[in-house]
Chains A and B, each alone.
Chain A
Amino acid sequence: DIQMTQSPSSLSASVGDRVTITCQASQDITSSLNWYQQKPGKAPNLLIYDASNLESGVPSRFSGSGSETDFAFTISSLQPEDIATYFCQQYDSLPLTFGGGTKVGIK
């Protein structure tokens, strides 16, 4: 199984700050990497697919980059509504696997 190592596990930042989360795959997954946002009591919501493609309707302050084993997810200017947990997920091979999540809070 492909292991996805996500860091940090939590962070606090101020409104307007740039926030970056990283995800490392245990083997080359090309660009088969997605990012989700999950708010408490809700299902995850797709933000970025194929490493860098913004899902329709998602604000442009969210972005993704990377390939092979190293990926990054960035919020360019943190907003109060971005308080949530973020997960990466690979689909290069089954079983699909997720990162452990990053809980983002406001300072």
Chain B
Amino acid sequence: QVELVQSGGEEKKPGASVKVSCQASGYIFTNYGISWVRQAPGQGLEWMGWISAYNGATDYAQKFQDRVTMTTDTSTSTVYMELRSLRSDDTAVYYCARPSGSYPSYFVLWGQGTLVTVSS
């Protein structure tokens, strides 16, 4: 079936990096982009950026521009999101999400979420 499956939860210390994966199945991977959206505990949703699975083009929210890198592996239909220089306020559930088309619009498919906990 059509789904996005994310990697498991991570515990990191401040200053470390984390790399979360999102593996797609059930559709033509390169036809769609993937966005990353995070949600701090008890808080709202925050869009981090987007990557085209077709050509690897990216667009990051300015807030994360200096710390985030999104990449794709078309051989495994997987998208990766790496966040560096982690702080305690990066503690959140990170979701990958696929829009209805190739460009960020409305998200019809979501991963199950990956909890990243940053604590000393």
Residue among B62, B95, B97, B105 making CB contact with A95, cutoff 8 Å: B62
Judging by beta carbons under 8 Å apart, are A97 and B47 in contact?
A: yes
Judging by beta carbons under 8 Å apart, are A98 and B110 in contact?
A: no
Judging by beta carbons under 8 Å apart, are B44 and A95 in contact?
A: no
Query: Could you tell me the distance between the alpha carbons of A36 and B109 in the complex, rounded to whole angstroms?
Result: 12
Chain B interface residue number, banded: 20 to 34
Judging by beta carbons under 8 Å apart, are A91 and B105 in contact?
A: yes
Judging by beta carbons under 8 Å apart, are A98 and B45 in contact?
A: yes
Instruction: Specify which chain A residues have a CB less than 8 angstroms from the CB of B95 in the assembled complex.
Output: 43-44
Judging by beta carbons under 8 Å apart, are B110 and A44 in contact?
A: yes
Judging by beta carbons under 8 Å apart, are B104 and A43 in contact?
A: no
Using a CB–CB cutoff of 8 Å, the interface residues on chain B facing chain A are 35, 44-47, 49-50, 59, 61-62, 95, 97, 100, 104-108, 110-113
